[in-house]
Structure 1
């Protein structure tokens, strides 16, 4: 069983709650397009999003703490995200998962992930060495052929029982324990240091989306898109990742 944990930013800090909800709905449709039924989705949020799509594998967990205060908007957003990630990982336990995966609320994932995890239940996990970047509104994707996990938070699958989850998690403090999950670019090396080496995922597992206007990382408007890495957005890619243009 693979549990996808999706932390959702609050309406209080969103530029457009409608856009945040649209992006999440696409992400949820993408996740729930798995070829195996052995998965669960835990969305951790403050307010329930404006999502019409429903699926029996989706659970919404609402947080009750206040949005953290910090003069830096990125730090503020990541602190909130970290708390929600930790809560989602703790909540995942009740589904008896073999593995857990963090998915950013605007990304898309491969429909093959749950089936692949189901066939490899004893593996420590995987990092996504390559993946796609997608700029909203374009008719193409851009492939990143190495170190995709340094770019996107949707890029690691970890075995649940090797995670050092606190017995009494504290959500209402700084980065703390959950900074481990936010530093997605360091997870591979940290797991190696703990003698739990991860393997590269043997296929493209995610699409990192940009241009939606609600990205928290500060990457929007900064990343370059090399035409040499451009690939046509085919029906095969659309179907495998559940990617469609937002209205």
Structure 2
């Protein structure tokens, strides 16, 4: 059994919470395409979505305070990590009921490859996987491109044995946020609320992750709700059947509008500006080394 675990941002820290629910729904539809049914999904949040999530999804409600004191999507990093990490921690606690073998923490607006569960079950001897190669996608532009170094950019990037998280005893889904934070200790800020250094963190503790041998996830940007504020800039590959067939992502624009947004003048200009900036940076580095 593989469990997928995610968290929802606090409604008071969302620009448009109904849009967050729409993004979650798309993500759950992507997961539902798995070629193996041996999985379950846990969603942890402050307000249950107003759509039916189906028998494969369990919603865990919390009453945690918003991580930012004012209305808006962007808490500071410590508040974001605290909120996300404690919710993910509760999701792992709730998942104990399924006696899972594997865990994949995912962001509630990303997409996962339809073969993830099947691949995990076909490779039982592994200590886990890290997704170093994926895709970055913009629904606003209906385009995408390859993203290497994926695990340093996107949180939907690790598949680990459930036991690797050392889920603490003595806490439950009714525990307070402070109790969850205390119970998990350093694990929470290191790998539950953050992801960038997770592979190295687990390696230091004897869990060596292999690289997933295919592009296993899609990082969804340009939503207006990304905490990172990442955008897909420059020339992009227009939507095609790969996104639909492997990740369940439908086309969001007509063909002409897609081409204009992906390879039109603005996109070309951004790509040229990026190339010029990189060339200038390299020239400066070479000058510094030479002197």
Deviation at 1:176, TM superposition (A): 4.8
- Give distance in 2, aligned partners of 1:234 and 1:41: 27
Task: Find 2:162's aligned residue among 141, 160, 163.
Answer: 160
Deviation at 1:59, TM superposition (A): 0.5
Secondary structure (helix, strand or coil) at the match of 1:73 reads coil
| Gapped regions of structure 2 (runs ≥ 5) | 254-291
1:64 aligns with 2:70: no
Q: Give the structure 1 partner of residue 82 of structure 2.
A: 79
- Give distance in 2, aligned partners of 1:149 and 1:213: 21
- Shift in alpha-carbon separation, 1:240–1:21, aligned structure 2, 3 A: same
Task: Find 1:110's aligned residue among 113, 138, 148.
Answer: 113
Deviation at 1:78, TM superposition (A): 2.8
- Give distance in 2, aligned partners of 1:134 and 1:160: 29
- Work out whether residues 102 and 154 of structure 1, in 8 Å CA contact, stay in contact via their aligned partners in 2: yes
Structure 2-normalised TM-score?
0.76
Q: Where in structure 2 are the equivalents of 1:3-42 lying within 5 Å?
A: 3-42=3-42
Identify which of structures 1 and 2 has the higher relative contact order when contacts are C-alpha pairs closer than 8 Å and 6+ apart: 1
- Work out whether residues 32 and 55 of structure 1, in 8 Å CA contact, stay in contact via their aligned partners in 2: no
1:231 aligns with 2:237: yes
- Work out whether residues 136 and 232 of structure 2, in 8 Å CA contact, stay in contact via their aligned partners in 1: no
- Shift in alpha-carbon separation, 1:180–1:246, aligned structure 2, 3 A: farther
- Work out whether residues 7 and 104 of structure 1, in 8 Å CA contact, stay in contact via their aligned partners in 2: yes
- Give distance in 1, aligned partners of 2:206 and 2:249: 36
Deviation at 1:165, TM superposition (A): 2.0
Task: Find 2:138's aligned residue among 131, 135, 140.
Answer: 135
Deviation at 1:55, TM superposition (A): 2.2
Q: Higher mean Cα deviation, 205-214 or 171-180? A: 171-180
Q: Give the structure 2 partner of residue 212 of structure 1.
A: 223
- Shift in alpha-carbon separation, 1:74–1:245, aligned structure 2, 3 A: farther
Deviation at 1:9, TM superposition (A): 0.9
Structure 1 residue ranges (4+ consecutive) displaced by more than 4 angstroms after TM superposition: 69-72, 173-176
1:88 aligns with 2:102: no
Alignment deviations for residues 29-65 of structure 1 (CA, whole Å, 9 cap, x no partner): 011110000110000011011334x321100000123
Please state which structure has a larger fraction of its residues in helix. Answer: 2
Aligned residue pairs total 240
- Give distance in 2, aligned partners of 1:177 and 1:45: 20
- Shift in alpha-carbon separation, 1:58–1:244, aligned structure 2, 3 A: same
Task: Find 2:250's aligned residue among 230, 244, 247.
Answer: 244
- Work out whether residues 98 and 121 of structure 1, in 8 Å CA contact, stay in contact via their aligned partners in 2: no
- Shift in alpha-carbon separation, 1:98–1:201, aligned structure 2, 3 A: same
- Give distance in 2, aligned partners of 1:70 and 1:55: 33
- Work out whether residues 13 and 75 of structure 2, in 8 Å CA contact, stay in contact via their aligned partners in 1: no
Structure 1-normalised TM-score?
0.89
